[in-house]
Amino acid sequence: MTRRRRAAALLPAAALAFAVLTGCGSHGAAGADPGSSGAVTPSAPSASQLAHMQKLVDDADSAAATAEKDASGDK
């Protein structure tokens, strides 16, 4: 594998690692009291947000089932 192809293959993995690390970073304030955890308590989602998330989950399940059906037909 050439250096260019190897670098191109590592780029998505590096981007994923960066996204995970920045998404999981500390959410506390820089000047927070050292004794406090700095954790933020999220508010409860609204009914419309829950409905939207349920639709996304249902769509993902449907897409996965379709892909699985297509894959089983390719054997």
Q: Which residue has the tokens 């308590």?
A: 41
Average pLDDT over residues 40-52: 87
Question: Is residue 29 one of the residues assigned to a domain?
Answer: no
- Residue 36 pLDDT more than 70? no
Expressed as residue numbers, the domain containing 75 is 47-75
Reference 65, options 25, 8, 57; nearest CA is 57
Tokens of 33: 């009291």
Task: Tally the domains of the chain.
Answer: 1
Question: Is residue 54 one of the residues assigned to a domain?
Answer: yes
Give the Cα separation of 49 and 39 in Å (integer).
Answer: 23
Tokens of 24: 């999981």
Give the Cα separation of 21 and 55 in Å (integer).
Answer: 28
Question: Is residue 74 one of the residues assigned to a domain?
Answer: yes
Question: Is residue 58 one of the residues assigned to a domain?
Answer: yes
Q: Which residue has the tokens 């297509």?
A: 70
Best mean pLDDT range from 2-6, 25-29, 53-57, 71-75: 53-57
Q: Which residue has the tokens 């897409």?
A: 63
Question: Is residue 22 one of the residues assigned to a domain?
Answer: no
